[in-house]
Every structure is written in C-alpha cells, then in structure tokens.
Structure 1
C-alpha cells in the first residue's frame, strides 16, 4: 500500500525534472531572459520575436542571460526580408564582437544550418547543395540544433543537414544568441524557441 502511495509522488517528481530540462526561452511578450547587444532592433510582436535592421545597419545580437553547454534547441524562423541571421552557441561577446559558433540562417543557397566560426576559422561545415533547397523562403522553417560535448548536429524542417565533431567546440562555453547581420534591410521572425538541457 505504501508503495502505491509513493508512486504518484515519484511521477510528479519525474515530471518536474523533465519540465526543468525542456523549457521555453521566449515568453512571447517581451525580452525577459535576453540581453541586446548593438543598436539593431529586437522586439516581441504577436507572440513572435522579431529582429530587424536599425539605422546603423550593423551587426546585432540577442543573447540568453543563461549559459548552456549541452542541449537540444528547437525554434522556428521566417525570413521576411533578406534573412541573413543565425543562431550562436557557446558564445561570448565584447561590444558586438562575438566569439563562438554560428548555425547559419540565411537566404536560399547561403548555407542555412551550416556551422561558421566567427573571427576564427570561418566555415567549418556547409550543407550539401541539394539539402540547401529544403529552406522555405518567406515561410516558417523549423531548425533544430543538438550540441553534446564536441559534437554538433543540425536539422532543417526535419532533415539532418550537418554533423560536426570538433575539439575546439568541445572546449567552448557560453550563451546562445540570435544574430542580425550587418548591411541593413534584414528582418527575421522567430517563435517556439525551446531548449532541452542535456546535462
């Protein structure tokens, strides 16, 4: 009998731990939990997170206040204009000079879901040319990024795009950040930004 009484409590505990590991990074109303870097525009609109070029037409970043090492991140994005953006992981920043690694979000055939190292080695891996066509410009796309120790895997719209094993990435640590590229005329919408911490 005592064992049966303990079962609901254990189930609640397990559910609570799972909820802690799978959480939303954007509340749909404001930028709570995030920090803006630079003068470009970041704002909430109708439950979506918007990044848009500002008058300076420079790089801009929106970083999580928390740092994440091993995780699975899923989000949706829609490119309304140009779309040159990205998702950084294990990153740090001084002003608007960022360190870390970027999973690219860009116009068609510009290597969305590939991995780029800013101010370092440049492109580490790009998707196959035929996989580039999975990007739906002007529509919602689903991007998934899984980072475990020195391994990174990305998916676009349910299709695996790249897999990379890299010692330098394995040593990295820091926050997650969304980017807006320099040059102006860029506007990207984001939603359903969720992270599962993998320990």
Structure 2
C-alpha cells in the first residue's frame, strides 16, 4: 500500500518575492492613528518622531490596515532613557479584559477597553540588551527574551521581522535575535510604541524607512475526524459537535487510539479538549501501533496534572512534565482547553491555553506518522475533543 505523508502546512509564502510597499509616505501620518496614551507623534525630515508626555501611559501609533504573514523592515533611533517597540499582529480589547501575565510568577491584571495588546518586538537601550526580543504587550509578558547584543545607542538600528504562520523571527542590524513559535495571533495591525516615561525632559524615538512585503494570511482548516479509525478498545461517538471518547476500566479494555486516516510530517495543529475523568493524550508521528516504541510522541491530557506534558511512549517515556504552578494558573477544569502542536523536523513546540508548555529544537524522534487521540483504559475515561484544525500556509 502506498502511504501518503502530508507536508505543506509549514511551507512558507510563494517562492516569488512579493513587492515592497512603504508603510509611511515620509510626509504625514496618513494610514496611521494613535491608540492609547498621549505621546505626540509628528513627521520631521521624512521620519516619524514619537515624544513622551509626562503622566501618559504607553502610547501606540497604529496602522489602519491589518497584516497576516509578512516581512517588515524599518530603522529606529531611540533615546537610551526610553523603551519602545514594534507592535505586530496586534489588537485592542473590545471590553475590559482580565489576563494572566507571567513576571516572576503568575498574576492577574485587568485591562481597559481599547487597550492595545499583542506581540511587541523590543526596542531598548544597549545596556538592557533586550532589543529584538518578543514581549506580549498587555497580555502574557515575555515570550522570547533574547539577548543578541546587536542594538547600538544613539544611532540608527535596522530591524527585520518575518511573520509566517505561527513563526516570528527578528533581526537587529543583521544579527538573528528571536525565533519564536506562538499560535495566539495570526494577523493584526502594526504599531510604533512610545513607552510611559518619567524624566526632567521629554524623550523621543525616531523611525524611518518603514516598508513591508505582504505575504497573505495563513488560515486554520478543519480536519475530517469522521474519517479516522479506532484501533483497540473504547467507544467513540459524536455528541453536540464534539467527539466523545470513553472507556470503562472494569471491563479491562485494551488501550484505544483514534487514528488519523493519513500520515503527517511537518504540521501545526490545534484542537480543544475537555476531560471529566480518566487520562488521555494526543499522539502524533505514530508508526506501527502494534510495535512498542513506535508510537511517536504524546502530549498529556489529564485533569489533575502535567498540563501539556511531553513524552515518547515505549522509548524515552516522559521527556518533560508540566509544571504544577502552570497547571494551577492555566488549566480550565470541566471546561474547554485549547492545545496547539507545532512539529517541524526535530523542533516541537506545545501550547495549552496560550501557554508554551514544551519546546525542543533538535529532537531525534520520529519525523512522520499518524495523529491519534488516546482512550486510556487504566481508569474510567470520559474526554471530549472538537475543533481539530491544521494550519494552512498563506497562498
């Protein structure tokens, strides 16, 4: 039998280079609007200038347009006393919103309606060595806190940002900085930040030569789970738009796997799950289910522990247990939880409810195989899965 291995979900935009489009006309701020704060944005000598105003919170100059996948380049020069950033794929809260932010521990904050939130590529002083890192403004906090040492004070610095699917990469002055995988936002506006500032004199940040290659938008496509087949014990049924998987331990059933109808190599998948009792898992790159050690990888689905834990059943076993504090802060008991799995070659990145629970960059395990939902028969099981989707690259 000829096997079909699905590639393509991680293929980047069309090989033909897209044209560059200026984001700033060098004359005025047409196509931009101020969001939040009172910082003053003006145009001087073909540059956008942002100046602080005492008492103002963070301010943002936002594009009217939204972008999905793109390559963005710009130059920036900032007063070393001031922090700034390029917002990408960003949004504004429609209403007052409570978020959980990690900063030396989890804390809850409420942001007002209209507050800008989203990925921020850091612009900071040479001493801070934070430039080029990625911070989730108004939401989760640091996502990729790199220290690439490329930024220079009191001179123009060249930034390049590439956003393709769940991948965001940054460069500062030609030096590679962040290499982030995050599934939360696939599109949004671009913005220029003037950070809140207190000082004897206003501080300023200048931007010039802003341009973009618009690569289209990646999108989520549903998977036809009705084509998947159950191997082993347990019961699978369709209930209110979800797939209900059950096992009864007293019947001493075989472990069950609801197996995909095709193999996948590189992919990004997301799904929602709700587990009321027992233990389950999402398997991928599964080989021969009858061969111990050929089951690929498993991401733990458990209502009591190991949020997004990562293992290789029958071979290395547990590779990474979930952190108890992450489980307490982020798991939604008796409710829907969202999991995203990104597998590209030896790189694996797992998120649950927007929290990155595991990342490995050069793992030596299997490189292709089927996807499966586990029916673990060691205890009574009831788990629901729905909204199983694959990310399709921009065309």
1:8 equivalent in structure 2:
none
Instruction: State the shift of 1:165 in Å.
Output: 1.0
Say which one has the larger Rg: 2
Aligned-partner Cα distance in 1 for 2:183–2:57: 31
1:181 equivalent in structure 2:
195
Greater relative contact order: 1 or 2 (C-alpha under 8 angstroms, separation 6 or more)? 1
Change beyond 3 A, Cα 1:93–1:110: farther
1:190 aligns with 2:204: no
Query: Which residues in structure 2 correspond to 1:69-88 (within 5 Å)?
Result: 69-88=68-87
1:162 equivalent in structure 2:
178
Whether the 8 Å contact between 1:84 and 1:186 is mirrored in structure 2 is no
Whether the 8 Å contact between 1:52 and 1:186 is mirrored in structure 2 is yes
Aligned-partner Cα distance in 2 for 1:35–1:57: 17
Which 4+ runs in 1 deviate beyond 6 A? Answer: none
User: Which deviations, in whole Å up to 9, do the C-alpha atoms of 1:90-122 show, x marking residues without a partner?
Assistant: 111256611211001011224111000123221
Q: TM-score, normalised by structure 1?
A: 0.82
2:41 equivalent in structure 1:
42
Q: TM-score, normalised by structure 2?
A: 0.43
1:123 to 139, 142, 152: 142
Greater helix share, structure number: 1
Stretches of structure 1 that go unaligned for 5 or more consecutive residues are 1-16
Partner of 1:168: helix, strand, or coil? Answer: coil
Stretches of structure 2 that go unaligned for 5 or more consecutive residues are 1-15, 94-112, 217-395
Aligned-partner Cα distance in 2 for 1:165–1:55: 36
Aligned-partner Cα distance in 2 for 1:40–1:150: 32
Partner of 2:79: helix, strand, or coil? Answer: strand
**RMSD after superposition:** 1.9
